[in-house]
Each structure stands twice: as structure tokens, then as C-alpha cells.
Structure 1
Amino acid sequence: MSQLDWSRITCVLIIWEDPDWCSPAIEPVLHALLYKLPQAHFYFVALAGAGSNASDLQATLGQVRQEYFDIALILTGAGRSPYALAYLCYLAGIPVRVGLSAEFGGGVLSIWQKPPINTQPSQRFIPLLHTLGLLGNTTDNTEEQPDYGEAPAARPDVAHPR
């Protein structure tokens, strides 16, 4: 379980890199974060495979450096590495960088989890949510989604991809 002090998290960067940017995999992450951090500010960056394009990565770094973030969640599609984006977040001074990786986590990802094998897209980040302490401690791998309680009110401060 993660030792994060969620009460101190006020500004969250979520980087979603996947050609299928509207994948159901990200929905449980967003629900869990909004439930755990109802007063936090969220900045959402959606990149369609920008990991191999240096100019896109530099532009992203420029945007990230303009804000202060307590934590960055680097959420990548299956078979994609989070390390280029995690390194940019490191260079931007974001103290906690989280992601799924089949490789060794090293120092670029502060908190990392191996991705699940042969799972439904909607379940891809569930083990990471458990590691972060955003979901209860269950070992049940059913398709049932966690109960987040009442949905938070509309969040006008959540930045959406353009």
C-alpha cells in the first residue's frame, strides 16, 4: 500500500497516453480520484501516442512547468512505456510520479505497479488504484466496479483535452 498523504494532495496531473484516448480503462481512475480528492484541482492531458514524438513531449513539458503539481499519474495504454513522460514530470519538478510498467520502476516512477496480464480494459489500472490506497483491500478480480458513493458535483476546474 502507498504511503501517500492524500490530505496534502491539492493539484493532480493526469497524463493519458493511448491512441484510444476514450478507453474505458481511465474511467475507474477518474472516479477514484474525484471521490478521494473532491477539493483537488485536476489537469488532464490526453496524448495519442506522443511518446515517440520529441516535439510533442517538449510542448507537454512546457505546459507542465507552468503549474505546480503534487502528483502525476502517467496512464499509458497496453504495451506502452510511461518512462519518457515520467522523466518529463521529473524534470518539471513533480515530486510523485505514478504509472504502470512491465520494466523496473527505477527512480523516474516514484510509485509503480506491473500491469495486469490478460485483463479487460476497464480493469487495467485497478491494481494501481489498490497500490495507491484509492480502493479497498480486496483480492477479488471480478468485473464489478467499486462503489464510490454519490458522484461529485460537476467540476469546472478540471481541464479537458482540446
Structure 2
Amino acid sequence: MARSTTHQAERTLGMATRFLEEVKDAIGRAAREGEDVPPRIRSVHEKPGHATPEFRTMAIPVGDSMEGASPEILSGTIARYAEAKRPDCLLLAMEAQMDSADGEHQTVLIAEARDRTGTRMYYVQPYRGGDSRVDWDEPVRGGWCDPGEDEMILDAAFPLRVEMGADLPRSRRQMMD
């Protein structure tokens, strides 16, 4: 049975929120153990006739030469994976450094969610780690947000199929009507 776009967006948001909590727990464990958390990606495969989707979570190895590499490299790697595995939804979470309002560097958790129906959202939350614990600040813009026309890392994993209108962000599908 086909889901409405709204229902699928809510389903993707639910999966993304659960994934985000798992990643936050992993960041907390890593802080206690003095380790880093590599970027993680979760692919979701929905199989007809199955009540629940199949989840695969992978850590993306980031060697010393990749640290500080552009998002295009990560995006290309994920796109190649998606081309081969054809997931229905991808969820990405990674740590990054951003400049804060006072010009200082701060560590943030960045997450993205993207699905075949065109749902696209991102999440940014600053945090401070130290003394074997993590202190989470409020999420930027209150939590999960629509990126609008801004490009996301996961966008390359779901190429535009203009002829059918599938895999387009809602705003782009509406422009086609």
C-alpha cells in the first residue's frame, strides 16, 4: 500500500529521531572512553509484505587523509553506496566543527535524513565534551529543519528523476505541477 507523502515524511522523521538518539548515546560513550565517533549512516530498506523496514547502520571510516575533507567526497561515497544498494531512506550523523557567534570553534552534531519520496531534513546541535561527559546545547533552529533549496550531503544519493517527479524535494515537485 502506498503511503501519502505526509505520512512518509512523518515516518522518516521518526526513524531519524531514533537514529539521532542512538548517535548521541554513542558520542557519550566515546567521550567516557576518550574516543572519536566516525560519521554514521543508516540505510533503510522497505520490503513489500514486511511490517518493519530493514535497517543497516555503518560507520564511515575516516582516515587521517580524509579529516577535514570536503562534504562532496562524503556525498560521492554515499551516492555510490546508494546506487548499488538502492535504499528507501538514508540517515547520516557526524561530528563537525563550526564557528560560534563569538568566533570560537564549537563541536556540533550534524544529521541529515533523505528518502525516495523527497523528504529532506537536517539537524544541528552544538555540544561540549570533556571530563568523560557530554553537555548538549539547544539544537540550532529548534531541531529538525527543512533545508529549502540548500544542498545536503545525502541529496546526491537520490538523483532527480524529473520525468516522473519522484525523488524530488516537495518544493521542486510542486514547481513541476
**Shorter-chain TM-score above 0.5:** no
- The structure showing larger relative contact order (alpha-carbon pairs under 8 Å, at least 6 residues apart) is 1
TM-score (norm 1): 0.33
Structure number with larger C-alpha Rg: 2
TM-score (norm 2): 0.31
Structure that is richer in strand per residue: 2
